[in-house]
Amino acid sequence: MFYVKKISKKMNNIHNQSIPTEVLAQATAKMNEVYEILKPYLLTLSPDERHSLLKKGDKSSNFVDKALEFSRTNPEFLPSYVTRSDFEIDAADSNNLLGIVTLATQLCNGLDDTMMVAGSEALYAALAYYNSVRQAAALNVPGAKAIYEELKKRFISKSRTAVTASAVAK
């Protein structure tokens, strides 16, 4: 009964257009192309490294730009351990990557949302089918019991499986 209630709330299928295989292949090829172009310049950080870094946000961007400009006009205040060329590279790349990151984030969010809706709708359909097979098996409809036995494996909890396995082992 639980699954029937959940399914009845969600009967409108909003993901109803399959993305053609050719389109997916073309998009994957283009994304691989972009990755290969940028790969020599990309860094990989561990979670700890990401956590330890200062984060440059909207407020900090203006500060960085002003500090860089002042370092050009007043280089005597630039510490000896900071080179202006490295400062300029970091500031420029930080600003220049923003557009690509924004576009990639929008793409990633759209892909993730579409995948989530498609997966959710597929699960609703599978649960509806499972409930139908379960009812058919209860009514001894030919062929339903084997399908039901196979599909019900999804709902067997690990703790129940572990208890059953240990009881069989004794």
DSSP of 94-134: HHHHHHHHHHHHHHHHHHHHHHHHHHHHHHHHHHHHHHHHH
pLDDT in tens, 96-143: 999 999 999 999 999 999 999 999 999 999 999 999 999 999 999 999
> Which run of H or of E encompasses 32?
helix 21-38
CA distance 130 to 133: 5
- Do the Cβ atoms of 2 and 131 come closer than 8 Å? no
pLDDT in tens, 24-59: 999 999 999 999 999 999 999 999 999 999 999 988
Q: Is the pLDDT of residue 165 over 80?
A: no
Mean pLDDT, residues 164-170 taken together: 54
